Amino acid sequence: MDAPVGSTVRIEIDGPTGRTSVSGQVIPPAAPGHITLKLLNGYNVSHLTTSVTAMAVLSGPSESTTEAEPAPLVASGLPHVRIVHTGGTIASKVDYSTGAVSARFEPSELLSSVPELGSIADISAVKVGNLFSDDLRPKHWNAIAEACAQAFTDGARGVVVTHGTDTLHYTAAALSFAFAGAGGRPAGPIVLVGSQRSPDRGSSDAPENLMAAVHWAANGPVPTGQFGDAVVVVMHRSSDDGMANVLPGVATRKMHSTRRDAFRALNVEPLATVTISTTPATIHLNQRYDAERSRAADRAVTEAPTPFLPDLNLPHVVATPWLRAEHIESLAATGPAAIIVHGTGLGHLPISDPDGDLPENREIWKVLMRASNRRLPIVVTTQCIEGPVDMNVYAKGREQRSLNVLGHGISSVPETTAIKVHHLLSRGLDLHEHLTTDLCGENPLQY
Q: Hey, what long-range contacts does 60-67 have (CB within 8 A, 24 or more apart)?
A: 60/4, 60/6, 60/7, 61/4, 61/5, 61/6, 61/7, 61/97, 62/6, 62/8, 62/25, 62/95, 62/96, 62/97, 64/95, 64/96, 64/97, 65/95, 65/97
pTM of the model: 0.82
| pLDDT tens for the 447 residues of the chain, in order | 678 888 899 999 998 878 888 898 888 887 788 898 877 665 678 889 999 999 999 888 754 433 333 444 444 689 999 999 988 766 666 555 555 555 555 666 666 778 888 899 999 999 898 788 888 999 999 999 999 999 999 999 999 999 988 999 999 999 999 999 999 999 999 999 988 866 555 567 778 999 999 999 999 999 999 999 999 999 999 988 889 999 999 999 999 998 888 899 999 999 999 999 888 899 999 999 999 999 999 999 999 999 999 999 999 999 999 999 999 999 999 999 999 999 999 999 999 999 999 999 999 999 999 999 999 999 999 999 999 999 999 999 999 999 999 999 999 999 999 999 999 999 999 999 999 999 999 999 865
Same fold, 72-294 and 316-409: yes
CATH of 72-294, one of 3.90.1150.10, 3.30.1330.60, 3.40.720.10, 3.40.50.1170: 3.40.50.1170
User: Residue ranges per domain, the chain?
Assistant: 8-62, 72-294, 316-409
Distances from the Cα of 201 to the Cαs of 85, 175, 318, in angstroms?
21, 30, 37
CATH of 8-62, one of 2.30.30.520, 2.60.40.10, 2.40.50.140, 3.40.50.1000: 2.30.30.520
Q: Which residues are known to be catalytic?
A: 89, 165-166, 254
- Phi and psi at residue 204, to the nearest 5°: -60, 140
CATH of 316-409, one of 3.60.21.10, 3.40.50.300, 3.40.50.40, 3.40.50.170: 3.40.50.40
